A and B are shown apart, each in its own frame.
Chain A
Amino acid sequence: MNHRTVAACTAAALAAAVLTGCGSSGDDSAASGPAELTYWAWAPGMDKVVALWNEENPDVKVVVKKQASGDDLVTKTITAAKAGEAPDLVQAEYQALPTLVGNDVLADISGEVAGAEKEFAPGVWQQVTLGGDAVYALPQDSGPMMFYYRHDLFEEYGLTVPTTWEEFADTARALKEKAPEKDLTTFSSNDAGLFAGLAQQAGARWWTTEGRKWKVAIDDAATRKVADFWGSLVREGAIDNQPMYTPAWNKALNTGKQIAWVSAVWAPGTLTTAAPDTRGKWAMAPLPQWEKGANATGSWGGSTTAVTGDSEHKEAAARFATWLNTDPEALAALVRESGVYPAAKAAQSGGALSRAPEFFPNQPDFYEQAAEIAQGTAPAAWGPNVNVAYSTFKDAFSKAAKNRSGFDSALRTMHEATVADLRKQGFGVAE
């Protein structure tokens, strides 16, 4: 009930006030002694990785403040920056960078991180420079997309692993014929990142710039192809239409009611918790292709380490960010403690990634294959109002998925809402 919610919020607000009080007093004392950097991050186990740095660098102490991932952290960071209280370092997803840069939250650290560029793939690096000369963050992890399937059930139903999307659709239909109560997978409308990655694979570039104007191409031919493909599978009932990350979805994966999942390199971690009884029964393959024989994939997830403009120790913060994302020891710890797939090329094979994920004992060369797939990662193109596009996606596509009515009008709604929001805010918008 709501009076209780209000009470809880008040209590939380008071607690927050007390905490910030403590925090700011800490910052003051830091100015005289060794530098103390606050780092907002959500990756699990980040405190353990940071402990390695603190041991070796007594003059620059980094304090991790654990955050919840997602859109509200972007807003929280922007709000903190408006108050001049932003942390020194913040973990930010790639698609949030233009929004953060537009709100003047991030510092340009191109001077401090010179030489880091060669450590990363060009498609990844371009996302932290926004195509200019400035560098707003260092890539931390990336999420090249892959196809996960239950190899035991594929064998049982006589299915072959699809290499093209056409084959994927046929596989879904074939499974429906053999086992009507089962689904190959579901189209989930509660994470726009998956749809964005699928569109990238098809060649979509949703936000690009033309001079001083943004050009939005969410309703372009490539994305429409992807939307039509999934929309028609949902409409004909070849796949399920229920959202991911629900107790029902966990159960479907765990019991084999859904036997495949289009996901990214971090999927083993999710499967471990969602479908604990299926260890060793999953296998990973490249994402089905639009053109036979191609090796293209999109990205789903992935984040960066950014230094804020509020930081009083930008140079030290940039040094820490560089260490965290390029130093072999740090990257190994990131893989071990946080379970991330590092963005640095050197760390994507061997070292901590020489062993397959615990959940995939049947696929010892998991990360070698992953590194090969990651080579074909299509570039992403993010704009200043990804949040608006994503939230419109959720509402429009969940309605369309529920009604099994095809996705073309939902895609148009997403495009139009995004353009209208840019216009309303005063951005230059190219036709």
Chain B
Amino acid sequence: MTPVTPVTRTAPSAEPAGGARPLPLGGAGSRPGRRGARGRGARRAPYLFLLPAAVLFLLFFALPVGYALHLSLRRVEVEGLGLGEGARREVWAGLSNYTDALTDPELAAGALRVLGYGLIVVPVMLGLALVFALMLDADRVRGRSFTRLAIFLPYAVPGVIAALLWGFLYLPDVSPFHFVLGELGLPAPDLLDGGALYAALANIAVWGGTGFNMIVIYTALRAIPAEVYEAARLDGCSQLQIALRIKIPMVAPSLVLTFFFSVIATLQVFSEPTTLKPLTNSVPTTWSPLMKVYEDAFVRGDIHSAAATAVVVAAVTLVLSFGFLRIANSRTRQGDSR
């Protein structure tokens, strides 16, 4: 009985509060208004917090993208000799820049070259990163932090410097490898020619990128709770079985992430072939699609077709990377429901 009494007591005490409704007519009329202001303020707050990000996004992402789209739909038209004032004007081009870009055999050839390059880079780099991460995570490893740093360090070397460094090692006349092979009387392959060029370029990317991906995977490995291993060991799992059955499935999300990053980086490959280009006859100025964009914009001075090609490259990157993410997500969701 006793617990009921306070309840019954509070209920009537609430009545007078309700009965005090005529108060708005009095001096406390500001009360509901204040509550409304607080409510509106609370509703406004998230937008205020979002504002800096939204402004930055608009200014430095949406606006430039919009401008690039605008440029891609226009072109310069010249009259006569194109000399003197007013000889050049910008006109509406419709989709002609896009049809030109899509029907350009050089862009298609560039895309094919990048595909071949990616087929080497992505599996080799991620495979190595995974193997290194698993090895570092294994029990009884000595010099773990040194090894981790040593593998990661090439990532800190800027891409252009790395390409220059490797370029010197590839050039037959200055390469120490070629010197040693020559002294031994062995044939030395020209790495800057034909199919070997893909391996040479891929090697630079693998050398620079493996460390970064390894760290991502390794961090995920460290986050696996120890109980899981304990249980596995109690069940008599060997180290190899733990790696294959527990570690790899549990770091699958990081593998998806690193794959995602690697695909984007591959589609955007630019600095390595650009740096190697002057060293050899085998790298044309339009080796990769992004190099073609650069060539169009800054050498041929045609920003309109460059913008169109850039939009095409961006669209393909988006479709490929988000398409892959979708597939990966639906897979994991299926796994969860099971």
Query: Please, how many angstroms separate the alpha-carbon atoms of A334 and B270 in the complex?
Result: 37
> How many residues in B have their beta carbons less than 8 Å from beta carbons of A?
48
Task: Tell which of B85, B172, B270 touches A248, judged by Cβ atoms closer than 8 Å.
Answer: B172
Decide: A1 and B80 in contact? CB cutoff 8 A: no
Chain A 204-245 per-residue mask, 1 if CB under 8 angstroms from chain B, else 0: 000001001110000000000000000000000000011101
Contacts of A72 in B (CB 8 A): 298-299
Contacts of B280 in A (CB 8 A): 242-243, 246
Query: Please, how many angstroms separate the alpha-carbon atoms of A1 and B209 in the complex?
Result: 7
For residue A158, CB closer than 8 A to chain B, the reply is no
Decide: B81 and A2 in contact? CB cutoff 8 A: no
Contacts of B83 in A (CB 8 A): 98, 101-102, 130, 132, 384
For residue B166, CB closer than 8 A to chain A, the reply is no
Contacts of A257 in B (CB 8 A): 173
For residue A247, CB closer than 8 A to chain B, the reply is yes
The total of Cβ contacts below 8 Å across the A-B interface reads: 130
For residue B84, CB closer than 8 A to chain A, the reply is yes
Chain B 78-107 per-residue mask, 1 if CB under 8 angstroms from chain A, else 0: 111111111110000000000000000000
Decide: A1 and B281 in contact? CB cutoff 8 A: no
Task: Tell which of A103, A212, A243 touches B278, judged by Cβ atoms closer than 8 Å.
Answer: A243
Decide: A2 and B159 in contact? CB cutoff 8 A: yes
Contacts of A209 in B (CB 8 A): 81
Decide: A213 near B76, CB < 8 A? Known: A2-B270, A3-B265: no
Chain B 178-212 per-residue mask, 1 if CB under 8 angstroms from chain A, else 0: 00000000000000010000000000010011001
Query: Please, how many angstroms separate the alpha-carbon atoms of A377 and B271 in the complex?
Result: 39
Q: Which residue of A lies closest to B167 (CB)?
A: A247
Contacts of A8 in B (CB 8 A): 158
Query: Please, how many angstroms separate the alpha-carbon atoms of A98 and B174 in the complex?
Result: 40
Task: Tell which of B193, B279, B297 touches A75, judged by Cβ atoms closer than 8 Å.
Answer: B297
Query: Please, how many angstroms separate the alpha-carbon atoms of A104 and B205 in the complex?
Result: 43
Task: Tell which of B85, B158, B167 touches A4, judged by Cβ atoms closer than 8 Å.
Answer: B158
Decide: A5 near B271, CB < 8 A? Known: A75-B299, A247-B171: yes
Decide: A1 near B174, CB < 8 A? Known: A75-B297, A189-B281, A245-B278: no
Task: Tell which of A3, A75, A78 touches B261, judged by Cβ atoms closer than 8 Å.
Answer: A3
Query: Please, how many angstroms separate the alpha-carbon atoms of A4 and B286 in the complex?
Result: 22
Decide: A391 and B208 in contact? CB cutoff 8 A: no
Decide: B77 and A425 in contact? CB cutoff 8 A: yes
For residue B301, CB closer than 8 A to chain A, the reply is yes
Decide: A71 near B278, CB < 8 A? Known: A1-B159, A248-B172, A426-B78: no
Task: Tell which of B167, B172, B282, B299 touches A391, judged by Cβ atoms closer than 8 Å.
Answer: B299
Query: Please, how many angstroms separate the alpha-carbon atoms of A247 and B300 in the complex?
Result: 27
Query: Please, how many angstroms separate the alpha-carbon atoms of A382 and B205 in the complex?
Result: 41
Decide: B300 and A103 in contact? CB cutoff 8 A: no
Contacts of A251 in B (CB 8 A): 173-174
B141 → A minimal CB distance (Å): 26
Stretch of A260-268, A297-305, A394-402 that contacts chain B: A394-402
A132 → B minimal CB distance (Å): 8
Query: Please, how many angstroms separate the alpha-carbon atoms of A102 and B85 in the complex?
Result: 8
Decide: B82 and A384 in contact? CB cutoff 8 A: yes
Contacts of A394 in B (CB 8 A): 284-285
Q: Which residue of B lies closest to A384 (CB)?
A: B82
Decide: A71 near B299, CB < 8 A? Known: A252-B173, A395-B285, A402-B193: yes
> Which residues of A, 93-126, contact B by the 8 Å Cβ criterion?
98-99, 101-104
For residue B168, CB closer than 8 A to chain A, the reply is yes
Contacts of A159 in B (CB 8 A): none
Decide: B85 and A104 in contact? CB cutoff 8 A: yes
A70 → B minimal CB distance (Å): 9
For residue B155, CB closer than 8 A to chain A, the reply is yes
> Which residues of A, 384-431, contact B by the 8 Å Cβ criterion?
384-385, 387-388, 391, 394-395, 398-399, 401-402, 421, 425-428
Instruction: A1-B212, A4-B158 given; name 8 further pairs at CB < 8 Å.
Output: A3-B265, A4-B159, A75-B299, A76-B298, A213-B81, A384-B83, A402-B282, A426-B76
Interface residues of A, Cβ cutoff 8 Å to B: 1-5, 8, 71-72, 74-76, 78, 98-99, 101-104, 130, 132, 189-190, 209, 212-214, 241-243, 245-248, 251-252, 257, 384-385, 387-388, 391, 394-395, 398-399, 401-402, 421, 425-428
